[in-house]
Each structure stands twice: as C-alpha cells, then as structure tokens.
C-alpha cells in the first residue's frame, strides 16, 4: 500500500506500545469483539415484555386487481390481536424513497410480487403468519408487464404512468463520425443486496400516543418522517432508534414492513416485533436495476474516441423509489472515465411489474461500466490495439469535461491507476508453479480439467460520484462532548459496517488528542445526518465531526492562549497533552478543562449542485472517485465455469484515513462485483421471484473470492472534501464486474455481453 | 454501538419453546419411538429438515433424533460388500480411509457442501430427502447399492436404492434407512460435478463412473438433471467392450469422446420429430446442459481409466 502522502501532519514520536490513534492508522472497530462473540444486539435480537408478533400478507401475483379483502376469518383466529389493511392507514396512504408512489397496503391493484396487502399482530409468530394467510383476497389476475421495452406501449401500470424519467443527454456535434464504429447490446441482471441479516424491527407504543421503532435503518430521519406521515402523527411523536445493522450495501430496510409494524403497535397498545424470513427479505427490499444498454462507439484510427451514442433502459420495477437519481448517474457516466468530445445518451427508467429497484452500491454506474468497457474491448480488437493501451489513449484527467458539461475539478488520476495495474506482475501460470495446489474453475472437488482451462486477462476503469447529485441537500450534523478526558460523538450517521464510528473516533483523537472516544447510539432525537450511501458519511458526517471537535478544541485552548498571551494556533494537543510552540507551556487536556464539560455541534454541507437540464447538462455532482482493475480469470471452456484468479486494483482514495478499514472496504466491494459478474441474478420469470433464498441466489463464498491485490492507492487530496478523502466502497463494485467480463472475453474470444456471465456464454465449442 | 438491554424493557433474549425430542441409542429403539409416535419426524443431520422447520414449512410436533445411534455411524464388511451406516456423515466419508474403499462416494461427500454441512449431513439423510441434487445419489445408483430398511420388531428388508428413488418401493410408516450396502469393487471410481461457481454449490449436473473389473463392466450414473439419477445402460455396455481390460484398461481417446456424447444423448435425448417431420431444436440452456454431461462423462471415464 503506498503511503507517500500520509505524513503531511507532523506527528511527534509516540510511545510505540500505545494503541493506534488518530487518522491514518488502522484503529480496530470498537464493536469487533461483540460482533465476533455474538453479543452484539441486532434488530432481530430485541425482545420486550408482552410483545406481539407481526406478519405481512404479500401479493402472490405480480399484477392483479383486488376485488375484495375479507379479514373476518383472520380476526376471529384465537391469539390474533389486530388485522390491518389499506383502510387502517390514518395518514398519507403512500410512501416512497425518491417519489411517494407506493401504497402502504395495496387497495385496488397489486403491481409486484410481494407487495404488502395486510398485516397481522398476534401472540405468536406462527399465529400471525397463519392469520395473514387466512386473509381472503379475491384477485382478478392481470397480465404482468415484465419486459421494460414493452413498458412504453403498455397500459399505464400506475396513475403516474410508466415512464419514471427520461434523460436525453446531448453533448457536442451529432454529425461527428469516426473511422471505426463498434456497436453492442448489453444486459445486466437483477442483483439483490442480500444483507446477511434479514430485516427485523420492534415497535413500542408510547404513553403520549406516539410510537418508538427499533430498526436497522440506515436513514433513520427519512424513515421517521415517512412513518410519521403514514401514521398521521407529528414527526416528534415517532422515534426511530437504530439497532445493530446486520450488513448494508443498499437501502437495506423495507418500509413495507416498518410502516405496518408501528401501525400495529399503535392499534394494539403492545410492543410488536417482526423478523423477516429470507424469502420475505428478498421480496421486500429494493434490488439493483436490471438494465438493457445499446452502444455505438466511434473512434479514429489511433483509437481516440470521437463519439459515443448510447441508449440506457432501466427496469425500475413497480415503483419509482430512487430510479430517477439512478438514471441520472447512469446517463452522466455512460461513457466512463474517458474524454468523449461528442456524446448522445438517451436514458429511460420505466415501470414494470417486476420487483422494485432502488439504491444498491454503485447503482446505475455499475451497469454502464460493464457496457462501456465491453465497447472499449471491441474497439481494441477492431483496431488491433492492446486493450490497456487503447484505454490509456482516452482516459480522463483533471480539467477535462464530462459529457454533462461539468468540468472535472477533483483529482482524476485515471492514467496513473491504469498504468499501475497494467505494470503489476501477472500471477504465475500453473505450469510455472507446479508444486502449488491449483484451484481450478469449479472448485476443489469440481470437475475442472487443466487441459480445458484457458487464462484471460482483462482491464476496466470505472468512476462513481460521491454524495447525492442534482441539487440534493447533503447535510450532516454532529456533536462532540468532552468531559473527564473522555470524548463522546453524537451523530445520526448509522454504522452499517462501513466503519463510520471508527472513523469518527479517529477524527476526534486526531483533533483533540484524546484517546478514549465513544460514539453514541443513533436515534432520531439527534439532528439528521442523512442516508448512508454514496460515501456521504465519510464526507459530510466525518466533516461535521471534525468541525465540532475543532470547536471543542478552541474552547479548551482559548483560555490558556489568553492567559499566556498567544494565539490558539501556537498551541498543540498531542496524546492528551497541550504544549506551546516554544515548549514553555505544557499541561494536560484534563487539567486545562478544569472539570468543565464542553459541547460543540457543527454541520457540514458540501458545495451545491444543480439538476441536469433538458439536454442532460449541468454541474450535478459533488465529487468523483476512480478505480482501475485488471482481472485474471481461468475458464474451463468446455463447462463454461469461470474462476477469478486475481483482481489487481488501483484506486484514487484522496487520503488514507484507516488503512485496514480501507482495504476491507475495497475487498468487500470487489467481492460484491464478483457476485454480479458470475452468480448473482434474482430470477423473476413472468414477474414472480424465483428461488428467494441463499441456495438459489448464489452469493460469492470465500472460494469464489479471488486474490485481491491493492496495487496502488493514489493519495491526491480532494481539496473540497474533508481531510481530502474520497469514499472507497462503491467504485470497486462498479469496476470489477466489467474487468471480469473483459478477462473472460480475452480467455474465450466470446463476446460476453450479459452479466452475470452464464456458463454457456463462456464455452468455446469449436476447437 | 452500545448495548441496548434494559431500554424500554427490552432484552435481546427470547424464551425458547420446548419441543418433544426422543434420542434413542439403537436402531430398534428409534423404530419403536417412531411407531409409538406416528407424528414424530426422524432427524439425523438436519441439514434439509431444519431449513424446512425454520422457514415454517414443517412444524413437527415431535422429533426422533438419530444422532446417538452409534451402530449406524460407522461401517462393517460383509462378504465383498461394505455395510455403511446411514448415520455416516459426509465429513467422515470424505476421509482417506473411506476414500480407499469407495472412492466415488468419498469424492461426492467432499463435494457435498461447505464443511459445516458436511459435518452434519448424513448418507441416510441424502437418500431419504432424495433431492435431485443429492451428491451421493448418482454414486449409489452407479454402485447399484441396496438399502437395508429397519422396521418394527427388529425386521430388516432390502430395497435397491433405485427403487426407493424412483418410488417403486417406499419407506413404510415407522421404517428407517438403517444401512446402505455397497459392493467393494477394488477399482477406480470417479465422481464429478459441475456447479455454477468455485465455492460449494448445488450440482448443475454430476456424473459417477465406477469400474467393475471382475465383471469387466463400467457403470455410470448422471445426477441432478432429472428427479433421480439416470443410468445410460447402453452406453455403459458399449464402452465396456472397448476397454482393453487385460492391458492396463487402455482405451482410444475417440472412444472417450463418443462415450460422453452417448451418455449425454441418452440422458437428454433429441426431441421427437413432430408429425410433419419438423424437428424442434433443444433450447440453448438444455444444449449447454447436454454439453456439460458429455464433458463430465468423458472426463470421469478418462480419469477412471488413466
């Protein structure tokens, strides 16, 4: 791991035995022990005296008219305490993350398999499930629209129509033409975020008529506002307490069960709990947008891009969710991190009767990356240029203009990243290291035959934007309290495993020189910090914590500085000791505080962005992060089985704040990308979710994960970001599937235009 | 993230419901327990059963645990056969001493899943749940294994494994699979399986090939592509004649290729021409499956003869 730029802040010599401390060190996570020992409380572990169990009745049809709902039998079952339907929603009957278009309970029409219709509270989970099954719903089954291409012509599936958003991006000269033209049609499957812990929650009624919900929410304030609106309560009377989050690579929670949970608690006056089964989890939460992409790249004889034309069609499923934002990212980054003088990209997000799609790490951008990188491979092949070299001739750098007309102002070391992975030594071939145990495609007890295995090397470069785009107000608030030499951070940024609490502790250690820092549990009584996605907490919540800590620092130092007639800038805090520049003054933070308790609250709000206009132009993005990956795969060309041998990655990280955590985030992202590339696809024939379990939906295991080599981390500080650090989790997810597809292409000579790569697409039939 | 116990009367521990569980120590006691409580469900490794229980598809009122019956957790020898206890775990069958006896069954056991599944899942459970993807099943079919079924009053009856898997003979009420009798052939055996990934996964197709040098026979079974393992008998007889049994079991490479194609075509036949003589093509996914079966069969026989 390169660390050339880490030593920018001057650190005095520390006791080598002292625990790691401050920014740039691998501080271990505070909750690691509890999680390892199984004592960490997740939402599914909660229990309250006298609680009832909830169950949600979900639609078995992807599209049907509801003729009648009869809850009589369910209500009469012994042990059932409440049965609620659309008639029992006291507040706003619709909700939705991006657009409020989704009914709390379906009333007239069901638009996807798994849509909630009724909910039950009973004294036993089995009773609740049986009662939910006893609700008699009479359906008139309608033909589902499951092909997004049919959605344009189909009868409107929703009062808002079938077209959720259309962006026609026009940039440059439409008449421009290149010497070489390559075309391609690409399909990306439906990835499920598949959090390891399924959804769960507990709602507890309050004596004041309000309700408290204990949820594994990653955006507690937005959830609270939605819940309050649906309950017809003021937001102050609904409180969301965030419990342990068992994994989140997306908006992990399904409001389809959260809202009924609180309604049932309000209705019965009892605590109500629900733990989703894996099947419900697959039916409830949002998936990655299945995407159809059509591309035409024009290039000159040297391989320089002249024009890119593309059509991007996102299958949003039955409800809009965040599809409009996802489409903006897909269209804006459809050409990838390349200089493209002329770009004409049309994007549509359309409604179908498939399960709803929404935010999943790298959304929109991952799909287009697979397509634009496939196009670059095609160009390289047509022109007879090395694929890495062709990419290097086109890469973006700081100062270049994106197809949206936005100038790249942040560091964009794409060429450096790509050269780093290209120049890294290739892993040895089995014939060069015959003593090693070679894991063939198909696994240790698989059917792999060395004679049928071919190796391929492929490249991909990718980019993501950080923070919300198109004018979203990305603000976060944090409070830092110091008392008795112990600092506490209060910030509603949810720790979902991404390491925010560790980072917050490091920021306070760095700024205040205090070792013992605690991060308080999150609830909605704290000011909002926003959703945990697109690297926002590293940026805005980390920035808010730093500002609050600096304000506390000033409060500590001001009286001392005043007393000694010097400015606070001349005082330093290190390891709990305050020293002046000349060494005359030396005291401890605890002494300087003199038993006082110091508080400071601060906000961080990045510079504003603007929406894309009617031709897809505008400064819509706050920051960009880049990554280059070289994939090495082994393919058994008779069986079509693929093993990813190694992924070499170079990434633009701005500044390394915690090396171990950063490496873990990159490895997690790359492995999620391996899933998209090879196995993860939630099948929904005729709109029905098939195999909603972890046997049918194959997540990568340790054996599927390749050797991940972090070849280079480029630390060029992004001046507008707090600490100059960029978010690291999303861009490996975006880039690795494209790199793997490229390597399979190189190994087999097959086009590989669909992800996940099906075995029949990696078979070489002719000898 | 701190502990939240105590807040609003919340704890993190739910009381567990008690269940009626019997833990017999002999096969006959287990049969007696099942006969006495007809609603009870026998459970060995529980790798299939418990996922049905956890998902609410099965709510057994009582369980008869088979884990303490030591007589079915090992094996014994019986005139040229091994009598394998139905309680043998995949982990146990995967070990070298077992692999020396019945190599294909050991290979199937090692491929049967991740270590925690192999530690729990049993041979008898694999037969009883009879999932098409059960990895031991094609091996047992190729070995023409016989099940020893334990019934009330110490009764024992033999049922060929293929009869049970095909539903020709079923387990009666209160009956348990006690043992699996397999011949000891003292010759190479191969089990190969194709999955969609490098990590442990369910078979897309699997092939078991066993050689029977005493009878100069080759026996082959294809798993996972049909509800039960398929035996391509014609292909077996045909290829057995091409092997030079007295000369290091040599075979020409073309015969291996042809054997693969033969097995694949037998298991996934071409569509029957319609009345007007037009032939419908197999869908691409089925063609790929046929190619997979052909490659697996060719490789399996090639490895067995090499």
Chain position carrying tokens 């004409």: A344
| CB of A392 closer than 8 Å to CB of A357 | no
Residue B9's pLDDT is what?
47
Distance from CA of A758 to the nearest CA of B (A): 8
φ, ψ of residue A489 to 5 degrees: the values are -105, 130
Q: Which CATH class is domain B189-305?
A: alpha beta
Question: Is residue A96 within 8 Å of residue A671, measured between CB atoms?
Answer: no
Residue carrying structure tokens 């026996």: B219
Q: Tell me the chain A residues in contact with residue B4 when contact means C-beta distances shorter than 8 Å.
A: 41, 46, 214, 241, 243, 521
pLDDT in tens, A202-251: 999 999 999 999 999 988 999 999 999 999 999 999 999 998 888 777 66
Strands A571-574 and A517-519: unpaired
The model's pLDDT over A642-665, given as tens digits with 9 standing for 90+, comes to 999 999 999 999 999 999 999 999
From A495's Cα to the closest Cα of chain B, the distance in A is 8
Q: What percent of chain A has pLDDT over 70?
A: 97
- Residue A718 contacts residue A411 (beta carbons within 8 Å): yes
Give yes or no: residues A70 and A11 share one domain: no
Q: Where are the domains of chain B?
A: 19-65, 70-183, 189-305
Helix (H) or strand (E) run with residue B297 in it? helix B284-305
**N- to C-terminal Cα distance for chain B?**
59
pLDDT band at A722 (very low <50, low <70, confident <90, very high): confident
Q: How far apart are CA B57 and CA A456, in angstroms?
A: 45
Give the least confident one: A75-89, A146-160, A438-452, B110-124: A438-452
A529 and A404 assigned to the same domain: no
Is A277 in Cβ contact with B9 (below 8 Å)?
no
| Average of per-residue pLDDT across B156-161 | 95
A51: tokens are: 């609680």
Q: Which of B1, B194, B202 sits opposite A641 (nearest CB)?
A: B194
Inter-chain contact A443–B13, Cβ cutoff 8 Å? no
Reference A221, options A473, A52, A46; nearest CA is A473
8 Å CB contact of B56 and A695: no
* Residue A6 pLDDT exceeds 50: no
Average the pLDDT over each of A98-112, B159-173, B270-284, B292-306 and give the range with the smallest value. B270-284
C-alpha distances in Å from residue A729, one per residue of A114, A147, A535, A544, B254: 30, 31, 7, 20, 51
The pLDDT value given to residue A3: 41
| Sequence-separated (6 or more) residues with CB below 8 Å from residue A431 | none
Residue A533 and residue A503 share a domain = yes
* Chain B nearest C-alpha distance from A426 (Å): 21
What are B37-81's pLDDT values in tens digits? Answer: 888 999 999 998 888 887 777 888 899 999 999 999 999 999 899
Tell me which residues of chain A, numbers 292 to 321, contact chain B at a CB-CB cutoff of 8 Å: none
Q: Give the residue from B253, B74, B8 showing the smallest Cα distance to A206.
A: B8
B249 in reach of chain A (CB within 8 A): no
pLDDT category, B13, cuts 50, 70, 90?
very low
Tokens 């995967």, residue? B94
Please report the pLDDT score of residue A278 as a whole number.
87
3-state secondary structure of B230: strand
Distance from B276 to chain A by nearest Cα, in Å? Answer: 31
- Check pLDDT > 70 for residue B157: yes
Does A286 score more than 80 pLDDT?
yes
Cβ–Cβ under 8 Å, residues A692 and A682: yes
Predicted pLDDT at A1: 41
Q: Which of B9, B56, B202 lies closest to A126 in CB terms?
A: B56
- pLDDT > 70 in chain B, percent: 94
Task: Return d(Cα A6, Cα A655) in angstroms, integer.
Answer: 7
Residue A582 has pLDDT above 50, yes or no: yes
Report the gap between the CA of A239 and the closest CA in chain B (Å): 13
Q: Which residues of B touch A442 (CB under 8 A)?
A: 194-195, 198
Q: Do residues B296 and B230 touch, judged by C-beta distance below 8 A?
A: no
Q: Quick: pLDDT tens for B193-238.
A: 998 888 888 899 999 999 999 999 999 999 999 999 999 999 999 9
pLDDT at A435: 67
Q: Domain boundary residue among A604, A636, A658?
A: A604
A695 CB neighbours in chain B (<8 A) are 202
Are B12 and A41 an interchain contact pair (Cβ–Cβ within 8 Å)?
yes
Inspect the interface and report whether the beta carbons of B110 and A445 lie closer than 8 Å. Answer: yes
* Highest-scoring range by mean pLDDT, A44-58, A426-440, A471-485, A572-586: A44-58
Residue A355 burial by CB count (10 A; 0-12/13-18/19+): exposed, middle or buried?
A: buried
* pLDDT at residue A16 in the model: 55
Is A41's Cβ below 8 Å from some Cβ in B? yes
pLDDT digits (tens, 9 = 90+) for A69-97: 999 999 999 999 999 999 999 999 999 88
Chain A environment of B106 (Cβ under 8 Å)? none
Q: A90 touching B, CB under 8 A?
A: no
Q: Give the residue from B182, B157, B55 showing the smallest Cα distance to A695.
A: B55
How many other CB atoms are found less than 10 A from the CB of residue A415?
A: 18
Lowest mean pLDDT across A215-224, A588-597, B177-186: A588-597
Structure tokens given for B285: 């996914």
| pLDDT confidence tier of residue A753, bands split at 50, 70 and 90 | very high
Whether B14 and A47 lie within 8 Å, measured CB to CB: yes
**In the predicted model, what is the mean pLDDT of residues A171-180?**
93
Of B111, B193, B288, the CB nearest to A763: B288
Q: Kindly report, residue by residue over A390-424, the tens digit of the pLDDT.
A: 999 999 999 999 999 999 999 999 999 999 999 99
Q: Which domain holds residue A702?
A: 291-469+611-762
Are A636 and A564 members of one domain? Answer: no
> Which of A276, A447, A522 is the best residue to mutate to test the B interface, defined by the most B CB atoms within 10 Å of its own CB?
A447
Average pLDDT over residues A564-584: 80
Task: Write out residues 558-577 of A within 8 Å (CB-CB) of B.
Answer: none
What digits encode the pLDDT tens for the residues A600-640? 999 998 888 999 999 999 999 999 999 999 999 999 999 99
Beta carbons of A639 and B1 less than 8 Å apart: no
Inter-chain residue contact B10 with A202, CB threshold 8 Å: yes
Please state which of the ranges A322-331, A370-379, A557-566, B142-151 shows the lowest mean pLDDT: A557-566
First-to-last C-alpha distance (Å) of chain A: 43
Instruction: Supply φ then ψ for residue A269, to 5 degrees.
Output: 70, 10
The values of phi and psi at residue A121, to 5°, are -115, 130
Per-window interface: B 145-204 vs A, CB < 8 A: 192-202, 204
Chain B CB contacts of A685 under 8 Å are none
In chain A, whose CA is at the least distance from the CA of B111?
A445
Q: Which CATH number goes with the domain that contains A553?
A: 3.30.365.10
Residues of B in contact with A643 (CB under 8 A): 198
Assess A445–B contact: CB distance below 8 Å, yes or no.
yes
> What's the pTM value of the predicted model, to 2 decimals?
0.92
Are B91 and B79 in contact, with CB atoms under 8 Å apart? no
Q: Residue A15: which pLDDT band, with cuts at 50, 70 and 90?
A: low
Classify A269 as helix, strand or coil.
coil
Q: Does residue A296 sit in the same domain as residue A430?
A: yes
For residue A446, is pLDDT > 80?
A: no
Is the CB of residue A277 less than 8 Å away from at least one CB of chain B?
yes
Backbone φ and ψ for B298, nearest 5 degrees, come out as -60, -45
Rounded Cα gap, residues B202 and B111, in angstroms: 9
Exposed, middle or buried by CB within 10 Å (0-12, 13-18, 19+), for A73?
middle
Asked whether B305 and B243 are in contact (CB, 8 A), the reply is: yes
Q: Give the DSSP letter of residue A7.
A: G
Taking CB atoms and an 8 Å cut-off, how many pairs form between chains A and B? 127
**A438 occurs within a structural domain:** yes
How many CA atoms lie within 13 Å of A144's alpha carbon, on the beta-carbon side? 24
* A155 inside domain: no
Contact B194 A447 (CB under 8 A): yes
Domain CATH number, residue A224: 3.90.1170.50
Question: Over 90: is that where the pLDDT of A474 sits?
Answer: no
Question: Residue B117 pLDDT > 60, yes or no?
Answer: yes
Fold of B70-183: 3.30.465
Query: Under DSSP, is residue A658 helix (H, G, I), strand (E, B) or coil?
Result: coil
Question: What pLDDT, on the 0 to 100 scale, is given for residue B180?
Answer: 97
Question: Could you tell me if A117 and A262 lie in one domain?
Answer: yes
Structure tokens at A512: 């205040």
pLDDT value of residue B8: 45
Measured CA distances, A22 to A334, A546, A574, A578 (Å): 39, 12, 10, 16
| Secondary structure letter of residue A762 according to DSSP | G
Q: Are residues A585 and A635 in the same domain?
A: no
pLDDT of B7 over the 90 cut: no
Tell me what the pLDDT averaged over chain A comes to: 90
Percent of chain A clearing pLDDT 90 (strictly above): 65
Closest-CA residue of chain A to B290:
A639
Q: Report how far apart, in Å, the C-alpha atoms of A30 and of each of A490, A505, B169 are.
A: 15, 9, 59
Specify the pLDDT at position A21.
77
* DSSP-derived secondary structure for A207-276: TTS-EEEEE--SSHHHHHHHHHHHHT--GGGEEEEE-B----SB----HHHHHHHHHHHHHHSS-EEEE-
* Predicted interface score ipTM higher than 0.90: no
Residue A153 has a CB neighbour count (10 Å cut-off) of 8
Contact B199 A702 (CB under 8 A): yes
Q: Does domain B19-65 have CATH number 2.40.10?
A: no
Considering only residues A384 and A198, tell me which one the structure prediction assigns the higher pLDDT.
A384
Q: Do B111 and A129 touch (CB under 8 A)?
A: no
Number of domains comprising chain A: 3
Of the residues A284, A302, A337, which one is the last residue of a structural domain?
A284
User: Strands (DSSP E) along chain B, which ranges?
Assistant: 10-11, 20-22, 41-43, 62-65, 75-78, 81-85, 146-150, 156-160, 176-183, 189-194, 205-212, 217-223
Nearest chain B residue to A447 by CA: give it.
Answer: B192
pLDDT at A18: 61
Task: State which of A543, A572, A604 marks the end of a domain.
Answer: A604
Between A747-756, B3-12, B90-99, B197-206, the lowest mean confidence (pLDDT) is in B3-12
Q: Residue B196: its chain A contacts at CB < 8 A?
A: 641, 678-679, 698, 759
A704 to chain B, any CB pair closer than 8 A? The answer is yes
Q: Which of B197, B202, B208, B253 to mutate to test the interface with A (most CBs of A within 10 A)?
A: B197
């Amino acid at each position: 791991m390169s660390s050339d730029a880490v030593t920018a802040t001057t650190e005095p010599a520390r006791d080598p035995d002292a625990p790691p401390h401050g920014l740039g060190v691998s501080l271990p996570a505070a909750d690691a022990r509890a999680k390892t020992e199984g004592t960490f409380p997740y939402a599914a572990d909660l229990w309250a005296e006298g609680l009832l169990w909830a169950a949600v009745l979900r639609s078995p049809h992807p599209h049907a008219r509801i003729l009648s709902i009869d809850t009589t039998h369910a209500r009469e079952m012994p042990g059932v305490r409440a049965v609620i339907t659309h008639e029992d929603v006291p507040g706003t009957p619709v909700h939705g993350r991006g657009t409020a278009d989704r009914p709390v309970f379906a009333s007239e029409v069901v638009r996807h398999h798994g849509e909630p219709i009724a909910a039950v509270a009973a004294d036993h989970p089995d009773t609740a499930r049986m009662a939910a099954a006893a609700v008699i719903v009479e359906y008139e089954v309608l033909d589902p629209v499951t092909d997004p291409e049919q959605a344009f012509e189909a009868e409107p599936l929703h009062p808002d129509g079938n077209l959720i958003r259309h962006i026609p991006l026009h940039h440059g000269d439409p008449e421009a033409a290149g010497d070489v033209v390559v075309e391609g049609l690409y399909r990306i499957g439906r990835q499920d975020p598949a959090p390891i812990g399924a959804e769960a929650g507990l709602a507890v009624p309050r004596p004041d008529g309000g309700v408290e919900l204990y949820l594994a929410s990653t955006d507690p304030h937005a959830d609270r506002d939605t819940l309050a609106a649906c309950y017809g309560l003021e937001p102050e009377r609904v409180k969301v307490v965030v419990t342990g989050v068992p994994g989140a690579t997306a908006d992990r929670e399904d409001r389809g069960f959260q809202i009924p949970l609180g309604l049932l608690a309000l209705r019965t006056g009892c605590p109500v709990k629900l733990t989703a089964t894996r099947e419900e989890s697959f039916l409830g939460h949002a998936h990655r947008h299945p995407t159809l992409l059509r591309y035409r790249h024009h290039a000159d004889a040297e391989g320089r891009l002249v024009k890119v034309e593309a059509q991007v069609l996102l299958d949003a499923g039955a409800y809009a969710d965040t599809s409009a934002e996802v489409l903006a990212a897909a269209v804006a980054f459809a050409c990838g991190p390349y200089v493209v003088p002329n770009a004409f990209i049309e994007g549509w997000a359309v409604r179908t009767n498939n399960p709803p799609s929404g935010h999943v790490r790298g959304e929109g951008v991952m799909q287009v990356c697979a397509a634009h990188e496939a196009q670059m491979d095609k160009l390289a092949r047509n022109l007879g240029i090395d694929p890495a070299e062709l990419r290097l001739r086109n890469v973006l750098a700081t100062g270049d203009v994106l197809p949206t007309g936005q100038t790249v102002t942040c560091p964009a070391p794409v060429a450096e990243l790509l050269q780093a992975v290209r120049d890294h030594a290739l892993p040895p071939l089995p014939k060069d290291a015959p003593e090693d145990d070679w894991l063939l495609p198909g696994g240790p007890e698989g059917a792999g035959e060395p004679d049928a295995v071919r190796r391929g090397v492929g490249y991909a470069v990718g980019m993501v934007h950080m923070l919300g785009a198109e004018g979203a107000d990305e603000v976060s608030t944090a409070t830092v309290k110091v008392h008795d030499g112990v600092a506490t951070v209060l910030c509603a940024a949810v720790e979902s495993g991404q390491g925010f609490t560790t980072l917050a502790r490091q920021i306070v250690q760095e700024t205040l020189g205090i070792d013992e820092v605690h991060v308080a549990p999150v609830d909605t009584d704290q000011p909002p910090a926003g959703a945990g996605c697109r690297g926002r907490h590293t940026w805005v919540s980390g920035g808010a914590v730093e500002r609050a800590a600096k304000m506390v620092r000033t409060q500590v130092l001001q009286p001392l500085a005043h007393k000694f007639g010097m400015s606070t800038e001349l005082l330093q805090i290190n390891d709990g000791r305050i020293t002046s520049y000349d060494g005359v003054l030396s005291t401890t933070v605890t002494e300087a505080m003199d038993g006082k308790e110091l508080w400071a609250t601060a906000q961080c709000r990045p510079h504003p962005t603007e929406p894309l206009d009617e031709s897809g132009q505008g400064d819509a993005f706050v920051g960009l992060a880049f990554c280059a990956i070289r994939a090495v795969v082994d393919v058994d060309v008779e069986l079509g089985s693929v093993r990813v041998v190694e992924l070499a990655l170079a990434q633009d990280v701005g500044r390394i704040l915690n090396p171990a955590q950063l490496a873990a985030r990159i490895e997690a992202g790359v492995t999620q990308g391996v899933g998209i590339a090879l196995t993860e696809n939630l099948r929904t024939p005729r709109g029905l979710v098939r195999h909603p379990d972890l046997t049918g939906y194959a997540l990568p295991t340790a054996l599927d994960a390749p050797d991940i080599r972090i070849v280079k981390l480029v630390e060029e500080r992004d001046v507008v970001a707090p600490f100059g650090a960029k978010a690291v989790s999303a861009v490996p997810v975006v880039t690795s599937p494209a790199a793997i597809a490229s390597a399979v292409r190189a190994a087999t000579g097959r086009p590989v235009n669909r992800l996940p790569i099906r075995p029949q697409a990696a078979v070489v039939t002719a000898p | 993230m701190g502990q939240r116990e105590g807040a609003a009367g919340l704890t993190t521990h739910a009381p567990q419901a008690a269940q009626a569980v019997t833990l017999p120590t002999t096969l006959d006691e287990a049969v007696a327990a099942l006969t006495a409580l007809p609603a009870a469900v026998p459970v060995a490794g529980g790798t299939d059963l418990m996922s049905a229980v956890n998902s609410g598809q099965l709510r057994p009122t009582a369980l008869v645990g088979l884990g303490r019956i030591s007589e079915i957790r090992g094996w014994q020898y019986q005139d040229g056969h091994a009598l394998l206890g139905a309680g043998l775990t995949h982990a146990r069958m995967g070990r070298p001493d077992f692999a020396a006896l019945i190599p294909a069954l050991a290979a199937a056991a090692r491929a049967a899943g991740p270590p925690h599944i192999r530690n729990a899942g049993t041979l008898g459970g694999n037969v009883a749940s009879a999932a098409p993807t059960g990895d031991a099943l094609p091996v047992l079919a190729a070995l023409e294994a016989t099940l020893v079924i334990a019934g009330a009053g110490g009764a024992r009856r033999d049922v060929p494994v293929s009869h049970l898997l095909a539903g020709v003979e079923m387990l009666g009420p209160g009956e348990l699979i006690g043992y699996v009798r397999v011949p000891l052939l003292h010759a190479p055996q191969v089990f190969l399986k194709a999955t969609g990934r490098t990590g442990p996964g369910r078979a897309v197709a699997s092939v078991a090939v066993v050689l029977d040098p005493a009878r100069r026979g080759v026996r082959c079974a294809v798993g996972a592509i049909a509800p039960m393992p398929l035996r391509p008998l014609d292909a077996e007889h045909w290829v057995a004649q091409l092997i030079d049994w007295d000369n290091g079991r040599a075979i020409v490479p073309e015969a291996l290729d042809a054997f693969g194609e033969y097995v694949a075509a037998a298991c996934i036949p071409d569509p029957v021409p319609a009345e007007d003589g037009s032939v419908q093509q197999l869908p691409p996914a089925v063609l790929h499956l046929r190619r997979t079966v052909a490659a697996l069969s060719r490789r399996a026989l090639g490895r067995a003869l090499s």
